Amino acid sequence: MNKVVSNADEAIRGIEDGMTLMLGGFGLCGLPENSIAALVRKGVKNLTCISNNAGVDDFGIGLMLKQRQVKKMVSSYVGENAEFERQLLSGELEVELVPQGTLATRCMAAGYGMPAIFTPAGIGTEVAVGKEIRNFNGKDYLMELAFEADFAIVKAWKGDTMGNLVYRSTARNFNPVMAMAGKTTIAEVEELVPAGELDPDQIHTPGIYVHRIFQGVNYEKRIEQRTVRKQS
């Protein structure tokens, strides 16, 4: 199978209105910037987006929110996006808030082929409303279903033509678990190398999970909140 595609527009072929997408990244770190830009150009709508956060107003998923492409956000943190807040409060956007560990584990469960997980996170809160609770060894656990995503879109530092991926530093956040979980996984990388060039011991995502891969361009790598020390 030839997994290499020429660019982001070719990589997102088959993504249509109403689909569910996983988008890697944490804050603005490790975002699939090229793929998000391609989704904005394509103009697909009524999407359900599963992501740790909703980006900011003019970057990341915030660009898709601005174009009214997102019907529902499934996230653990949404506090840096004024447009997200406006759409939520006006009833334009459906939101499912998920504890961060639960979000990651529901992705992992999908990758492992598990239908559900049990977690103590959310017990006794609004997160548990309408969900099944079971008691194990005297402690209550909330049943959370594994995610079902049509596409997972991730970003890695390096990848090879077989789809093997290496993430760099904190960009190794939600990307690995989401790469496992999509029915179709798209990976954009900063550097695409021939198969066999990556050190097997350094590979974070095996190529068996990846269906399409391309080398991205013009990464902005914006910093969400820059904090520096005062010079002494």
Could you read off the pLDDT of 85-123 as tens digits, one per residue?
A: 999 999 999 999 999 999 999 999 999 999 999 999 999
Q: How far is CA 70 from the centre of its chain?
A: 14
- Single-letter amino acid, residue 206: P
pLDDT category at 227 given cuts 50, 70, 90 is confident
Kindly state whether residue 228 falls inside one of the protein's structural domains: no
pLDDT of residue 2: 85
Q: What pTM did the predictor assign?
A: 0.93
Task: Tell me the C-alpha distance between 15 and 202, whole Å.
Answer: 31
Kindly state whether residue 207 falls inside one of the protein's structural domains: yes
Q: Taking the CB of residue 118, how many other CB atoms lie within 10 A of it?
A: 14
Tokens representing 91? 């009833």
- Residues with Cβ within 8 Å of 207's Cβ and at least 6 positions away in sequence, in order, are 3, 160, 162, 163, 164, 165
Number of domains, the chain: 1
Task: Tell me the C-alpha distance between 126 and 104, whole Å.
Answer: 19
pLDDT of residue 41: 97
pLDDT of residue 55: 85
Residue range(s) defining the domain that contains residue 173? 8-118+146-215
pLDDT, tens digit, 9 for 90 and up, residues 34-75: 999 999 999 999 999 999 998 888 899 999 999 999 999 999
pLDDT, tens digit, 9 for 90 and up, residues 188-218: 999 999 999 999 999 999 999 999 999 999 9
- Residues with Cβ within 8 Å of 89's Cβ and at least 6 positions away in sequence, in order, are none
β partners of residue 185: 152
CATH of residue 153's domain is 3.40.1080.10
Kindly state whether residue 130 falls inside one of the protein's structural domains: no
pLDDT surpassing 80 at residue 31? yes
pLDDT of residue 38: 98
pLDDT of residue 221: 84
Kindly state whether residue 221 falls inside one of the protein's structural domains: no
Question: What DSSP state is assigned to residue 229?
Answer: P
Kindly state whether residue 99 falls inside one of the protein's structural domains: yes
Task: Tell me the C-alpha distance between 107 and 143, whole Å.
Answer: 14
pLDDT category at 141 given cuts 50, 70, 90 is very high
pLDDT of residue 226: 80
Kindly state whether residue 135 falls inside one of the protein's structural domains: no
Cα torsion 54, 20, 63, 10: sign: positive
Kindly state whether residue 36 falls inside one of the protein's structural domains: yes
Question: What DSSP state is assigned to residue 95?
Answer: E
pLDDT of residue 39: 98
pLDDT of residue 89: 92
How does the average pLDDT of the chain come out, rounded? 94
Task: Tell me the C-alpha distance between 95 and 72, whole Å.
Answer: 6
42, containing H or E segment: helix 33-42
Question: Each residue of 87-97: b (16+ CB within 10 Å) or e?
Answer: bbeeeebeeee
- Single-letter amino acid, residue 226: R
Kindly state whether residue 137 falls inside one of the protein's structural domains: no
In this prediction, what percent of the chain has a pLDDT beyond 90? 86
